[in-house]
Amino acid sequence: MHSRRFWQYVRRHGRAYLTGYAASAVAVAMAQLSPWALRAAVDAIQHGAGGRLGMFAGILAVLALAEAAATYVMRIQILSVAYRVESDLRHDYFAHLQRMPLRFYQRMPVGDLMARAVNDIRAVQRLAGVGLMRSVQTTIMIVASVAAMLTLHAGLTLLMLTVMPLITLLYLGLGREIRRRFDRVQAQFAALSTRVQENLSGIRVVKAFAQEPAEQARFAQEVDAVVGVNVRLARVQGALWPAIGLIFGLASVVLLWQGGDLVIRGRLTLGQMVQFSYYLARLTFPMVALGWITNLWQQGSASMRRLDEIFGVKPEVRDPEHPAALAAPRGAVEFRNVTVAFDGVPVLRDVSFAVPPGHTVAIVGPTGAGKSTLVGLVPRLYDPVQGQVLVDGHDVRSLSLASLRRAVALVPQETFLFSDTLAENIRLGLDGAEEPGGTPHGGAVTRAAAVAQLAGDVERFPLRYETVVGERGVTLSGGQRQRAALARAVIRDPRILILDDALSSVDTDTERRILAGLRGVMATRTCLVISHRISAVRDADWIVVLRDGRIAEQGTHETLVRADGLYAALYEQQLLRDELDAADTGPDAADPPRPARAPRA
């Protein structure tokens, strides 16, 4: 285990581990003492001395109680603390991920991060708990038991222990074979997963070409192969535990045979022989546990390594060393020779323009022109590789992230709502946790919803603003989601509002009303608007047209239309689209009602 981080967590709870280990030593000592009492009792019985039996029984009971108490302390200390380590680790993991920029999430699938959070943290917890507990306890137990046996009768002990190397051999021999076969099981299992994944992803093609029987036959083959490798693994693995049992049985046979012989010849008392059998029993579990403990260490270290991989990623976008606060922002935005590249591929090249405070600038251009990247630079979702982005004359990289983002509200095209009430989702825009979900802002939520033209929809929900939305709540339409996201930005009352094609799922009519409403509340605010709809951008103070990461043209709507360039072509297409939309108006009154949704299991 090379992870410094792991040992830091352990050290943080060092006191609990030390208490646990001390208790463990006590428990082992008690476990070593009780066979002595038993031996004395047996010898006394054998010699017909029944007088002191009550005392021996009492000693046995007291020793057992002491051992149990110590075991309890050991378990409760170490196992509990392992859950605290887990909890600390999980907290730090999440806190670390919160500092990771957008690019990190674009590269790292959430499923992968979740797998680490679920499986790897659990493996580390098991190592910090049972792993660390058993490692120490087992070692003490083995050493103490062997020492006790040696003092009892060295010859007999050595004779009995001759079988022990067999266990090591067994682990080495079978262990390697088990690992080899286990790898094959894993590979076959992965093949099975892949086959299922492929079939289900391509189910349309499977069905279209009537491939179901062929696919089922291939799947059945794959499944049979899984059975085959597992049965082969079982053949070896199934031998491991019985073999260990057999080896301990051998030791027991040796004890019966040679130990009994010593008793017959008067070199050993019967009590001592019984005592031996107890030590042997005390050795069994630790010996068996060794293999298991090794496993815990291996898995725990591998998991910690995977977690350290994440912890080792330094956020590309982070606060400067001496962050300046953006006090009383006015909302001036300037792009100065900005170039952005992802993995060496340039996305924006040498873009420069300035937005005076309170102005609205629209950014248009074909898909992939770099529009979203451009506006993402303002709240530092990305950083440029060259050039500067300035807010009120400050390079955004010199400002504290929090104060910068407090001045900016960006509404992305892909809306994300949390599984929470609508009110909470909108209130998210209000800054800080210091305001509990109380009434003071109740009015703010409804006002923001009104500006976003969402209020009417909400009135139709039975629970109104208390409706739970998001993945585990009511499914909102795309337009409703976008309007909720807009309300979230409006309630923030930002100096700079950025709409990244944020109304694409809203119909033209509603969009017009929203924009009109925004003009009222956002009159003195700076706005950056990306839209595919010319209707949303034609009234902007300035329009920037991007193509292939460069500014193709810029100007006002009138000058650009007159220039008859890219903007004019886009404008013409938009007019056509509007005409098409108008050619046939939505659902007719004559339409039959939509049938009730099919019940789902």
Partner 1 sequence: MLDDDQIVGRAYDARLMRRLLRYVRPYRRVVATAVGVLLVASAADLVGPLLYRVAIDRYIAPQAAGARALSPAADARGLAGVAALYLAILGAGFAARWLQSNLMQYVGQRVMADLRVEMFGHLQTLSLGFFSRTPVGRLVTRLTNDVDALNELITSGVVAIFGDIATLVGITTIMLWMNWRLALAAFVVLPAVFAVTERFRRRSRGAYRAVRTRLARLNAFLNEHLMGMTVTQLFTQERRSRARFDELNASLLDANLISTRNFSQFYPIIQVLGAIGVAVLVWYGGGQVVRSAATLGVLVATIQYAERFFDPLRDLADKFNILQAAMASSERIFRVLDEPVTVEDPPAPAPLPRGRGRLEFRDVWFAYDDDETWALRGVTFAIQPGESVAIVGHTGAGKTSILNLLTRFYDPQRGQVLIDGVDVRRVAQRELRRRIGLVLQDVFLFAGTVESNIRLGNADLSAEDIRRAAERVGAHRFIEALPGGYGAVLQERGAGLSVGQKQLIAFARALAADPEILLVLDEATSSVDAETETLIRRAMATALRGRTSITIAHRLSTVQHADRILVLHHGRLAEEGRHADLLRRNGIYAKLYRLQFEVEARSAR
Return the axis-axis angle of helices 212-254 and 270-311, rounded to nearest 10°: 140
Q: And the tokens for 453? A: 């033209």
Q: Is 220 or 302 the residue whose CB approaches partner 1 more closely?
A: 220
In angstroms, rounded to a whole number, what is the distance separating the alpha carbons of residues 316 and 482?
A: 29
In angstroms, rounded to a whole number, what is the distance separating the alpha carbons of residues 256 and 36?
A: 19
Figure out which of the listed residues 17, 28, 67, 299 binds partner 1, where binding follows CB under 8 A: 67
90 touching partner 1, by CB under 8 A:
yes
Q: Reduce the secondary structure of 17-86 to three states and give it as a string.
A: HHHHHHHHHHHHHHHHHHHHHHHHHHHHHHCCCCCCHHHHHHHHHHHHHHHHHHHHHHHHHHHHHHHHHH
71 touching partner 1, by CB under 8 A:
yes
Q: Is 187 or 516 the residue whose CB approaches partner 1 more closely?
A: 187
Q: Is 79 or 386 the residue whose CB approaches partner 1 more closely?
A: 79
First vs last C-alpha separation in the chain: 47
Footprint of partner 1 on 229-248 (CB under 8 A)? 230-231, 234-235, 237-239, 241-243, 245-246
324 touching partner 1, by CB under 8 A:
no
439 touching partner 1, by CB under 8 A:
no
Under DSSP, the state recorded for 259 is I
Figure out which of the listed residues 153, 181, 406, 495 binds partner 1, where binding follows CB under 8 A: 406
Footprint of partner 1 on 22-61 (CB under 8 A)? 34, 38, 41-42, 44-46, 48-50, 53-54, 56-58, 60-61
In angstroms, rounded to a whole number, what is the distance separating the alpha carbons of residues 346 and 461?
A: 46
281 touching partner 1, by CB under 8 A:
yes
Smallest gap, in angstroms, from Cβ of residue 219 to partner 1? Answer: 5
In angstroms, rounded to a whole number, what is the distance separating the alpha carbons of residues 169 and 302?
A: 25
- Pattern 474-493, partner 1, x by CB under 8 A: -x-x----------x---x-
Footprint of partner 1 on 197-236 (CB under 8 A)? 197-216, 219-220, 223-224, 226-227, 230-231, 234-235
Q: Is 23 or 351 the residue whose CB approaches partner 1 more closely?
A: 23
408 touching partner 1, by CB under 8 A:
yes
Figure out which of the listed residues 7, 11, 15, 87 binds partner 1, where binding follows CB under 8 A: 87
Residue 267 CB partners (closer than 8 Å, separation 6+) = 153
Figure out which of the listed residues 8, 18, 83, 154 binds partner 1, where binding follows CB under 8 A: 83
- Pattern 99-138, partner 1, x by CB under 8 A: -x-x--x----xx-xx--xx--------------------
Q: And the tokens for 436? A: 């509990």
Q: Is 380 or 384 the residue whose CB approaches partner 1 more closely?
A: 380
In angstroms, rounded to a whole number, what is the distance separating the alpha carbons of residues 147 and 19?
A: 24
| Interface region with partner 1, contact rule CB under 8 A, candidates 143-151, 158-166, 185-193, 555-563 | 185-193
510 touching partner 1, by CB under 8 A:
no
Footprint of partner 1 on 534-563 (CB under 8 A)? none
In angstroms, rounded to a whole number, what is the distance separating the alpha carbons of residues 363 and 49?
A: 102
Helix (H, G, I), strand (E, B) or coil at 324: strand
589 touching partner 1, by CB under 8 A:
no
Q: Is 73 or 561 the residue whose CB approaches partner 1 more closely?
A: 73
DSSP states of 470-494: STTSPPPPHHHHHHHHHHHHHTT--
Q: And the tokens for 420? A: 């929470």
Least Cα distance to 242 among 230, 234, 232 occurs for: 234
Q: Is 516 or 563 the residue whose CB approaches partner 1 more closely?
A: 563
Point out which residues pair with 363 in neighbouring strands: 530, 544
Q: Nearest 5 degrees, angle CA 300-CA 303-CA 304?
A: 85
The single residue listed with the structure tokens 């979230």 is: 488
345-355 and 333-342: which strand pairing?
antiparallel
Q: Is 213 or 558 the residue whose CB approaches partner 1 more closely?
A: 213
Figure out which of the listed residues 131, 429, 479, 549 binds partner 1, where binding follows CB under 8 A: 429
Q: And the tokens for 566? A: 């890219």
166 touching partner 1, by CB under 8 A:
no
Footprint of partner 1 on 350-379 (CB under 8 A)? 379
Q: Is 277 or 508 the residue whose CB approaches partner 1 more closely?
A: 277
Q: Is 346 or 473 the residue whose CB approaches partner 1 more closely?
A: 473
Smallest gap, in angstroms, from Cβ of residue 427 to partner 1? Answer: 10
Smallest gap, in angstroms, from Cβ of residue 37 to partner 1? Answer: 8
In angstroms, rounded to a whole number, what is the distance separating the alpha carbons of residues 489 and 483?
A: 10
Smallest gap, in angstroms, from Cβ of residue 285 to partner 1? Answer: 10
Smallest gap, in angstroms, from Cβ of residue 343 to partner 1? Answer: 18
Q: Is 356 or 366 the residue whose CB approaches partner 1 more closely?
A: 366
Least Cα distance to 522 among 551, 553, 499 occurs for: 499
Residue 348 CB partners (closer than 8 Å, separation 6+) = 338, 339, 340, 370, 373, 374, 384, 549, 550
Smallest gap, in angstroms, from Cβ of residue 363 to partner 1? Answer: 18
Q: Is 491 or 544 the residue whose CB approaches partner 1 more closely?
A: 491
Q: Is 140 or 375 the residue whose CB approaches partner 1 more closely?
A: 375
436 touching partner 1, by CB under 8 A:
no
Q: Is 249 left (phi over 0), alpha (psi -120 to 50) or beta?
A: alpha
189 touching partner 1, by CB under 8 A:
yes
Least Cα distance to 422 among 461, 368, 378, 376 occurs for: 461
Question: In a 10 Å sphere around its CB, with 0-12 CB exposed, 13-18 middle and 19+ buried, how is residue 547 labelled?
Answer: middle
Q: And the tokens for 161? A: 């222990």
405 touching partner 1, by CB under 8 A:
yes
